[in-house]
A and B are shown apart, each in its own frame.
Chain A
Amino acid sequence: MKKWVPAASGLLAGFLAATVFFADLSPAQRSEASNDTNKSNAEKVYVPFGEKDEYYLFASGGHSGQMFIYGVPSMRHIRTVPVFSKDSATGYGWDTHSKEMLGDYTWGDLHHPAFSEKDGDYDGKYMFATDVGNSRAALMNLETFTVKDIINVPNTSGPHCAAFVTSNTEYMFLPTRFAVPIGREYASLDEYSEKYRGVMSAVTFDDKKEKLNIAYQVALPPWSYDLSDAGKKVSADWAVMTTYNTEEATTNLEINASQADRDYIVLFNWKELEKMIKDGQYDEVTGQKMIFPEKHKGGIYLVPVAKSPHGVDVTPDGKRFIASGKLAPAMTVFSFEKAFEAIKKEDFAGERNGIPVLKYESVMEKEVNPENALGPLHTQFDEKGMAYTTMFISSEIVKWDPNTGETLDRVPVQYSPGHSVAAEGDTVDPDGKYLIALNKIAKDSYLSVGPSHPESMQLIDLSGKKMEVIQSSPVNPEPHYAQMIKADKIKTISVYPKDENNPDAVYSQDQTKIVRKGNEVHVYGIAMRSKFIFDAKVERPDQIEVNEGDKVVIHLTNIDFDQDITHGFAINGYDLNIEVQPGQTNTIEFTADKAGTFPIYCTNFCSALHQEMTGYFLVKPKK
């Protein structure tokens, strides 16, 4: 009797089931690349296809008004995100939302980007940026890398000294570079000291609505505010910023703002300012809650510093802040603890413009003077709290120990670094590993493109005993500062999810329609590989016909819910172009003020039949 038959069949059935459910038939994981120790510089920056960079670099685009996204360590330019300037590549400035955000401005000067933070560390959710050119602040969502809100900041004229956010993104502060009379009213420069003010704006952020809002402003003295940093940990309620032209010069600042031996660091307690606003200690001016420090006392102090300082940077432990005169050879380490002590004891040297001035000696901890180093501008930190300061004039990065003042290492860069950025180097928890020098002069570094040069970014490896420049990358004008964030902190989406509540969206061909309301024409259309459908029920679904003078509103939904299938929508001869990303609904509004025949086409190459993705916009002339 063959008893083994049922037993064997049972085993077989079990094995079959086990294989189906538990077997891992996928190919074995690729083994990690060998460790870094023996890599050449070329290998350190090479990221093969299929692997990704370790860090995102968000470099400000300066007067391009844009933000440049790079990968580190490859230093490959991944994307340019338009923020304050129009960008036809993405239709930014043409679609209704971005057009409304940009208003009538055609350019911006994006200076210092700042990530949203949680407990003093980047949370990878939002990026803030400020516009020195036209005094605006912007908010970028990092799921989509698109700008969600831009606000005009009244009274503040050129928020160069921004943006810096507090430890839990309570505030983004925008101190001004240029002093102007409040409301930007006319006032002769003879009345500079009396009528001009350097207004700082405190901006809050509503993450539900993705909106920025001005909470209050502070009418600081008519000086120039240059750079700033929020406190961390023990100093989390405080912030520091540098000033120049405390001489209140009104002409030839190069000479006249360089006369006094000392300018000031403004040290303020934002919690106290917040409380003053709550208690009504402010004046209502130009619709803003304005604190006048000479009248509404408290919360703001001045610390003397070597003349014409640029950067001021808080150490990762939040105990010290480092500043230096940009023409000086030395960095000064100041102590928050000593400052708090002096404030408590009211140990002041006097007042300037109604603000108490602390004694330099009572706040200063040490002066650090690396031999022949000149022009310290800005400091970043590594995971051990060591400082890296850019030297604009001696064109180098100096690594030094803020605890002892000892110089640890120096590396020349080409040429004249303004800022530098280390991996998460301005948070409570820097990563070390990489530092990028944002050089102002590229000169002979790259193939010549004529007299106008790119800027230069140099990647420096911090992992060894000596700093080493391992890559150099040209960049469009002009990164002033950047932020470097671990790539896995950013969680992007690749396709916009369906939003059934969006009245402008249509997700299937048969729901497309063109609706006329008087002299308005509303189009609810779709884009898909490789066609436009504006009204599926008519003979030519890809045609829009209107009368001259009609207001035209086109809502277009990209129903290709597929990664990287972006469509463009341009009307030839009508100076219009927008983009619809996968799953996105975008709107464009305009007046059909030109009669005639205008082809419609997809501008963003989408498929093999992209050339055929066209239609017609017909405008019947007025009789």
Chain B
Amino acid sequence: MSISIDALPPFKKGEIPVDRKYFSTTSSILLITASALIAASLFFPWWGMEFFAPQYPEGLNIIVYPNKLEGEIDIVNGLNHYIGMKNFSEANFPELRYLPFLIGGLAILTLITGLLKRKAILFLLIGFFIIGGMLGVWDLHRWLKDFGTNLSPTAPITVEPFIPPIIGENTLANFITHSYLGSGFYMVAAAFILLIIPLWKERRR
């Protein structure tokens, strides 16, 4: 199936399109913007955790990008071995290898939806978004649980298994951790809002 802009039904400025299967050019622009935001989020951190201790007033960081980890990972790993936690490394997270493609795919899909202007596809897209978001939260929680509960039994310091929160503060021994969502996440959240607007704007009255 090939669709060109010419094939779209004509409508006058300010008028609601006659065919309710399609949405307006304004909405289309919103979607294209959303697609740009999603693509840009690939280059920004999505999630992070900052560790503070009396000896580390400057904080240690784990910063998660769609395709890499940044921050003082080696130092955090060196300290975590005292409680028997596994090492954080890029190799340990297969998501870092396919996430960029998923996010890139979503950006392309959003762009196509914007060009096609078809409401049905927009619904589908929003559905993808919601499912993807839930999967993402589940996956992050899964990893946090894995790292916090599968502790080596021979570690010098025995701590109760724990699950660090996805957002917020946690205290463990001399460390206080702050988990937070990164700018990449906020860009995608903004993109999601841009996706919802056409729904509201072109709802049936």
Task: Write out the residue numbers on chain B whose beta carbons fall within 8 Å of the beta carbon of A21.
Answer: 183
Chain A contacts with B in 1-45, Cβ cutoff 8 A: 1, 5-6, 9-10, 12-14, 16-17, 20-21
Shortest Cβ distance from B57 into A: residue: A50
- Whether B74 lies near A6 (C-beta < 8 A) is no
Chain B interface residue count, Cβ-Cβ cutoff 8 angstroms: 21
As a 0/1 sequence over residues 559 to 579 of chain A, the CB contacts with chain B under 8 angstroms (1 = contact) are 111100000000000000000
**B80 CB, min distance to chain A CBs, angstroms:** 11
Whether B98 sits at the interface, judged by CB under 8 Å, is no
- Whether A10 lies near B197 (C-beta < 8 A) is yes
- Whether B200 lies near A5 (C-beta < 8 A) is yes
- Whether A17 lies near B186 (C-beta < 8 A) is yes
- Per DSSP, chain A at the interface is helix
Task: Write out the residue numbers on chain B whose beta carbons fall within 8 Å of the beta carbon of A529.
Answer: 78-79, 82
- Whether A560 lies near B75 (C-beta < 8 A) is yes
Shortest Cβ distance from B199 into A: residue: A6
Among B78, B183, B201, contact of A6 (Cβ-Cβ < 8 Å): B201
- Whether A16 lies near B190 (C-beta < 8 A) is yes
Task: Write out the residue numbers on chain A whose beta carbons fall within 8 Å of the beta carbon of B186.
Answer: 16-17, 20
Whether B194 sits at the interface, judged by CB under 8 Å, is yes
**B31 CB, min distance to chain A CBs, angstroms:** 13
- Whether B190 lies near A6 (C-beta < 8 A) is no
| Docked pose: A14 CA to B72 CA in angstroms | 32
| Docked pose: A529 CA to B183 CA in angstroms | 34
Whether B196 sits at the interface, judged by CB under 8 Å, is yes
| Docked pose: A528 CA to B82 CA in angstroms | 12
B183, B193, B196: most-surrounded residue (chain A CB, <10 A) = B193
Whether B187 sits at the interface, judged by CB under 8 Å, is yes
Shortest Cβ distance from B186 into A: residue: A20
Task: Write out the residue numbers on chain B whose beta carbons fall within 8 Å of the beta carbon of A17.
Answer: 37, 186-187, 190
Among A12, A559, A560, A609, contact of B193 (Cβ-Cβ < 8 Å): A12
- Whether B78 lies near A560 (C-beta < 8 A) is yes
Task: Write out the residue numbers on chain A whose beta carbons fall within 8 Å of the beta carbon of B200.
Answer: 5-6, 9
**A494 CB, min distance to chain B CBs, angstroms:** 11
Shortest Cβ distance from B190 into A: residue: A13
The 9 residue pairs across chains A and B that have the minimum distance between CB atoms: A13-B190, A20-B186, A6-B197, A20-B183, A13-B193, A562-B75, A6-B201, A9-B197, A5-B200
Q: Which residues of B contact A (CB under 8 A)?
A: 30, 37, 72, 74-75, 78-79, 82, 156, 183, 186-187, 189-190, 193-194, 196-197, 200-201, 205
Q: Which residues of A contact B (CB under 8 A)?
A: 1, 5-6, 9-10, 12-14, 16-17, 20-21, 528-529, 559-562, 608-609, 612
> What are 15 residue pairs bridging A and B, where the CB atoms are less than 8 Å apart in the complex?
A5-B200, A9-B196, A9-B197, A9-B200, A10-B30, A17-B186, A17-B190, A20-B187, A21-B183, A559-B74, A560-B78, A561-B75, A562-B72, A609-B156, A612-B156
